Chain A
């Protein structure tokens, strides 16, 4: 690895460090719930290593426990993780011109957190080594915390009733709040928040992505409207 690449990789690894630590409770939950649902330790770890999508893993484990069949779990996974299509679309200008192995690698690492940290760069500023540092560090952290959850879950029961899911809220809120600087972002966040709760209350499988899209549309329309009348 050349010196400049190593530098960028380290910058990425350092930038994601707070979020990697904050994902600890969520990772503990993913590991311990897998054990509670009678998955083997290897299967619990395999979920984090192969699927690498916290929300989808937790929901799939819950459904397995409830006796759901393969097809319904896969359909739910598809719907629950469809926001990644949006992230891919958004990062298409910088990533689609990369060589295949970079596209495959960074594509695999494209999580909510990865997107939050790397999406603001345009073609000139984007550094794939920085992105790799972000993604790989987060992947390692997620898998280590899952492992800790698997080990702890075998000894401490009911780890899932501790409210560990608040960690994801604390992380995302800390990422979102500084972005809310103008009316259109306020509208986007408000619509998305309201719709996500409403649709979840209605038990829509697509609640999150539908609410997110509506929030984005509301923010976009607001921006267009404000732009037309300076």
Chain B
């Protein structure tokens, strides 16, 4: 049963990924469609982060002392100042874990 689930999930995810890569699919992207898809990286990645930051443990947390929020602000500041993705990820994670144990 679990193996059936794993293979079925694999098939679904793969179909989602592959569907529009198939050239026999009759579809041509207009320049408007391309401009729209140009927003896919900021739009989708932000949507993935939103609930993790503001809904830890599935509870809405809009407090300014939310460690996920503070950690994210640190990451934004660091990447804009240093332009180093790796550095800002590592430092913001350290600060997050510190804040989390300190504010808890």
Residues of chain A whose beta carbon lies under 8 Å from any beta carbon of chain B: 18-19, 21-22, 25, 39-40, 43, 46-47, 50-53, 55-57, 60, 64, 70, 73-74, 77-78, 81-93, 95-97, 103-104, 106-108, 110, 112, 115-116, 119, 162-163, 165-180, 184-185, 188-189, 192-197, 200-201, 207-209, 211-213, 215-217, 219-220, 223-224
Contacts and interface: CB of A to CB of B under 8 A. Distances in A.
Given A87-B17, A96-B23, A219-B39, A43 B3 contact: yes
Contact of A89 (B14, B37, B47, B68): B37
Interface in B8-25: 8-10, 12-14, 16-23, 25
> Which label, helix, strand, loop or mixed, suits the secondary structure of the A interface?
helix
B85 A103 contact: no
Nearest to A75: B12
Given A97-B23, A177-B75, A178-B80, A73 B41 contact: no
Please classify how large the interface on chain B is, using the bins under 10, 10 to 19, 20 to 34, 35 or more: 35 or more
B43 A216 contact: yes
7 contacts: A18-B86, A85-B20, A96-B25, A106-B21, A170-B88, A171-B85, A197-B51
Interface in B64-102: 67-68, 71-72, 75-76, 78-80, 83, 85-86, 88-90, 92-93, 96-97, 100
Contacts of B8: 70, 74
